[in-house]
Amino acid sequence: MPTAIVMNFNDEFKAIARFLVLGRGLAVLIAATLLGGCVTVPQTRTVEFDQALTRWSVEQMPGGTMSAREGTLVIEDQDGCTVWLRQKLTAPVEISYDVTVVAKGGRHDRVSDVNCFWMATDPASVAMPAGRSGRFDAYDSLKTYYVGMGGNENTTTRFRRYAGDGTKPLLSGHDLRGAEFLLEPNKTYHLRIIARDDVAEFWRDGKKVFSFHDPAPLTEGWFGIRTVHSHLEVGGFRVKK
C-alpha cells in the first residue's frame, strides 16, 4: 500500500499513535500480528507551510519577498528565487502540490515561470544544494531534473536534465509552445512530479506533460520550487513514496 510521507510537520508519530488507539486500528494490528504480517499505517495528508518555513531553505535575489500565510507559501519575486525542501528524497517518489500564478496588478504579478527542480544534487558536495543567490545560472552546475512551465514570458514549457557539468540540453519534444502547456492568470494548477525506476515525469491537472526515460536515472536528491519575477501561491504540498 503506498504511503505518503508528511514533510512539513512534527506530529507524524502522534498521528500514528492516535490511529492505533482507535478500536479499529488496534484490531487490525492484532489481527496482522496473529497472522504473522505487518500493518502500514497510512499517512496521507495535505501539507501546509508553517510561518517559519522550518522545513524549507529559501534562496532569493534582492527585491523579492517570501512568506507563509494560512498554510500557503506566497512568493513575490523580482530577480530569481528557489525554495528547497530540506529533506532529501529517494526514488521511487511522487511530489504533488497546487500553484496559482497571481495577476492582480501587483508589482511582481507577471504570468510566467512556474518552475521546479527535483532529484537535485551538487556534484561538488553531498549536502543539500543550497546557499546560492537565487540567480538562475547559479544552478547550472547541479545534476537534476527541471521543468520551466510558462517560461520565457509565458511562451515555452520545457523539460531539461542538468548533467552536473554545466550542460542542460534541450531535447526534441521537450520544448512545448502550445497554449495548452502555458499559464493562465489566477488559475490554480495541480502538479505531480515523479521519479521512479528510469523515468522522470511531470503532470499538470491530471495530464502527463513530460515523460523522460533516463539511461542514468537520478535516484536521490532534493526538490525545489523555482520562479523569477512572478507572484505565486503554493499549497497542498505532499510527498508520497
pLDDT in tens, 15-59: 433 433 334 343 333 333 333 443 333 444 455 799 999 999 999
CATH architecture of 56-240: Sandwich (2.60)
Q: Are 237 and 118 in contact (CB under 8 A)?
A: no
User: In percent, how much of the chain has pLDDT > 70?
Assistant: 80
| Separation in Å, CA 121 to CA 108, 135, 213 | 29, 17, 19
- Tell whether omega for the bond before 92 is within 30 degrees of 0, i.e. cis: yes
Residue span(s) of the chain under CATH 2.60.120.560 come to 56-240
Give the least confident one: 37-41, 102-106, 112-116, 185-189: 37-41
Summarised one tens digit per residue, pLDDT across range 92-104 is 999 999 999 999 9
| pLDDT confidence of residue 48 | 72
What does pLDDT average to over the chain? 86
**Which is higher by pLDDT, 205 or 38?**
205
Over the range 39-75, which residues count as b (16 or more CB within 10 Å of their CB) and which as e? Answer: eeeeeebebbbeeebebbbbbbbeebebebeeebbbb
pLDDT at residue 73 in the model: 97
Q: Enter the C-alpha cell of residue 171.
A: 531535447
- Rg (C-alpha) for the chain, rounded Å, is 19
pLDDT value at position 47?
Answer: 59
Q: For position 46, what pLDDT does the model report?
A: 58
On whether the CB atoms of residues 68 and 41 are closer than 8 A, the answer is no
- Residue 195 to residue 201: CA distance in whole angstroms: 7
Most confident segment among 1-5, 43-47, 198-202: 198-202
Residue 221: predicted pLDDT: 98
Query: Kind and range of the H or E element at 201?
Result: strand 199-204
Do 213 and 103 contact (CB within 8 A), yes or no?
Answer: no
Single out the residue of 198, 191, 178 nearest to residue 238, CA to CA: 191
pLDDT at res. 163: 98
**Long-range interactions of 183-186: CB distance < 8 A, separation 24+:** 183/101, 183/111, 183/112, 183/114, 183/149, 183/150, 183/154, 184/101, 184/111, 185/101, 185/102, 185/103, 185/111, 186/100, 186/101, 186/102, 186/103, 186/104
- Give the type of residue at 17: A
Residue 196's CB is within 10 A of a number of other CB atoms, namely 13
Note the pLDDT tens digit of each residue in 217-235.
999 999 999 999 999 999 9
For residue 191, pLDDT beyond 70? yes
Cβ count within 10 A of residue 136: 20
Which position has the higher pLDDT, 44 or 77? 77
pLDDT at 36: 40
**Nearest partner of 227 among 9, 69, 80, judged by Cα:** 80
Q: What is the mean pLDDT of residues 10-16?
A: 38
Give the whole-angstrom CA distance, residue 116 versus residue 159.
Answer: 10
